[in-house]
């Protein structure tokens, strides 16, 4: 048996449609634009602006950590993955 085929079979993800649907729902709900999402991004914008004015890379990196973009990025990657597998 080919080594590549063996490795692919070992790590192949086989989920039922119910599991896929639940995962999509969880990711989609995490990527919703809410008032808390907008407030955190506004705070991150102000923090990043302050970091630029003070010429402080640490403050700018802190602003990137404050920004809540993980849900949106996860949702986009999930959609791209779904389009590729369709």
pLDDT value of position 86: 47
Q: What is the pTM of this model?
A: 0.51
pLDDT tier at 7, thresholds 50, 70, 90: low
| pLDDT value of residue 50 | 94
Q: Where are the domains of the chain?
A: 3-85
pLDDT in tens, 37-64: 788 788 889 989 999 999 999 998 888 8
Contact 55, 40 (CB under 8 A): no
């Amino acid at each position: 048996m080919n080594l590549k085929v063996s490795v692919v079979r070992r790590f192949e993800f086989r989920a039922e449609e119910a599991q896929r649907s639940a995962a999509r729902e969880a990711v989609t709900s995490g990527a919703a634009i809410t008032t808390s999402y907008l407030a955190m991004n506004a705070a991150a914008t102000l923090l990043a602006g302050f970091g630029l004015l003070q010429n402080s890379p640490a403050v700018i990196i802190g602003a990137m950590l404050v920004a809540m973009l993980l849900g949106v990025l996860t949702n986009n990657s999930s959609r791209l993955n779904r389009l590729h597998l369709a």
